[in-house]
Amino acid sequence: MTILPLDPAANSTPAALRQFLAQCQEAAARKGKPQLVSISLEIDALDPLAVLESIFEPAERHFYVERPAEGLAVAGAEAVLAFEASGPGRFAACQRFIDETLENTLAVGDLKAPFAGPHFFAAFTFADRGEPGDAFEAAGVFVPRWQVAQRDGRTVAVANLVVAADSPIDALVERVWRAHGKFGAFRYAAPEFSGRPARIEENPVAGDYPAAVRRALAGIAAGDFEKIVLARIRDLGADETLHPLRALNGLRQRFGDCYAFSVANGRGQSFIGASPERLLRVGEGQLLTEALAGSAARGTTASGDAALAAALLRDEKELREHQLVLGFIARVLESLGLRPEHAARPGLRRFANVQHLHTAVHAALPAGVRLLDVLARLHPTPAVGGAPRESAMPRIRELEGFPRGLYAGALGWIDSGGRGEFFVGLRSALIDGSRARLYAGAGIVAGSSPEGELAETEMKFRAMEDALRA
């Protein structure tokens, strides 16, 4: 990526913009390839979700995520570049697309500001190949036309455009100048949210969940695998088209320590949720991931809640499930030359409706190992798949009876410096017209009971169902 010494704030006139874009056009002609031009500008505070609500278009891609507890919020929409891949090599293919794009990128603005410069928003499904009718490709990456982000009390807007040797410069100037004016003094528009889900629709592929758990336990007893995660689906129907963003404000307020998110495919379908689980964060030569496995309900009183937490911390079955995930993460990182560090015993992560065993894992990132290299090995972890992965993964589709799509997939972003963050697509729903498909899963190990796992999935369904119906 080439960083040009131009201050967008000090050169904010149509004439200066035209001169700059003309230089970009000359660069495109000289290199024989279109150039991605990225313009970053720090602006007055904006709410990324409110911006997305105001200019939402169902026929455009978007990516939104917010984690209030960490002061993080970002929204980007309207792809100027997009890439799709499938199969075991999908992560490497996406990395090549990112590398090739950055080789032909011109950036201006303070790239040290949070979320400045071009960002690549990505979504990887649970399985490495899709099925007919899937809403999302197995791997999808896009660069948004516009992006607004808040981090640590600062707001940065980014405009991205592609300039080719024959691009109509005057039209590009007009488009960027309009965007500059809009984000410089943004006027929020109240979205027209349509109806709420009113009924549960029976789904013939949902199957008998307790029976699936019993089959999984038989496989564990036979030594086929130690753990397998089985999910359920629940379809909700409405009398009107559902707006995918309507539930997100409530989710981010209720689950401030989760990733409230929405990923749209540009064909009218969106995947939304409030995920508790970070998959991977990379920045400044450091890697952070976590084991989040082993669950219990929250109590209705302080003493009841504390008793449930204490029981979870000493529950042999839940601790064993947690250790399977932690051991897998450590082995993956060690295979890449990293030295993972973590506490000897798990702690607790508490959310509004559930609490989990949690262990944070840190490691220095060696030179030459990049975010997608690690993600390709980590995803999916036994927290959402199974262990051993090679024997558990092929059984999941058979036992569940439906394709997961982005449920338990990897969602996140990578910036121009290779920094980025991914989380797991949990506590989620696929919004498609007047229907919402909810997903919830539970880890099955020796000692699991079909009734107990059914109750756990019901507990996990409740948060998203309440948000959609609020």
Within a 10 A sphere around the Cβ of 284, how many other Cβ atoms?
7
Does the structure show a pLDDT above 90 at 10? no
Active site (annotated) includes residue 321: yes
Q: What is the 3-state secondary structure (H, E, C) of 67-118?
A: EHHHCEEEEEEEEEEEEEECCCCHHHHHHHHHHHHHHCEEEECCCCCCCCCC
Selecting among 318, 421, 453, 456, the annotated active-site residue is: 456
Quote the pLDDT of residue 2: 85
Instruction: Supply 356's token pair.
Output: 């989990």
Active site (annotated) includes residue 277: yes
Parallel/antiparallel/unpaired status of strands 410-415 and 119-124: antiparallel
Region 165-169: mean pLDDT is: 92
Contacts of 89 (CB under 8 A, 6+ apart): none
Quote the pLDDT of residue 452: 94
Region 346-364: mean pLDDT is: 94
Region 84-91: mean pLDDT is: 97
When pLDDT is cut at 50, 70 and 90, the band that residue 11 belongs to is: low
Region 458-465: mean pLDDT is: 91
**168-210 tens-digit pLDDT:** 998 888 888 877 777 767 778 878 787 788 888 877 777 799 9
Do 245 and 262 form a contact (C-beta atoms < 8 A)? Answer: yes
Does the structure show a pLDDT above 90 at 352? no
Quote the pLDDT of residue 181: 72
Quote the pLDDT of residue 200: 82
Give the closest residue to 119 by CA, choosing from 331, 380, 419, 411: 419
**Domains along the chain with CATH numbers:** 2-184 (no CATH), 199-469 (3.60.120.10)
**243-292 tens-digit pLDDT:** 999 999 999 999 999 999 999 999 999 999 999 999 999 999 999 999 99
Active site (annotated) includes residue 460: yes
| Percentage of the chain lying above the pLDDT 70 cut | 99
- Mean predicted lDDT score pLDDT of the chain: 93
Selecting among 227, 290, 318, 400, the annotated active-site residue is: 227
First to last CA, the chain: 45
Quote the pLDDT of residue 12: 72
Quote the pLDDT of residue 183: 74
**110-121 tens-digit pLDDT:** 999 999 999 999
Active site (annotated) includes residue 182: no
**Phi, psi dihedral angles at 305 (to 5 degrees):** -65, -45
Parallel/antiparallel/unpaired status of strands 259-265 and 269-275: antiparallel
Do 115 and 147 form a contact (C-beta atoms < 8 A)? Answer: yes
Selecting among 66, 78, 460, 465, the annotated active-site residue is: 460
Residue with tokens 């979320």: 115
Region 324-333: mean pLDDT is: 96
Quote the pLDDT of residue 408: 98
Selecting among 321, 421, 453, 465, the annotated active-site residue is: 321
Residue with tokens 């024997």: 391
Active site (annotated) includes residue 227: yes
Selecting among 66, 78, 137, 277, the annotated active-site residue is: 277
When pLDDT is cut at 50, 70 and 90, the band that residue 346 belongs to is: very high
| Percentage of the chain lying above the pLDDT 90 cut | 81
Give the closest residue to 392 by CA, choosing from 441, 345, 341, 464: 441
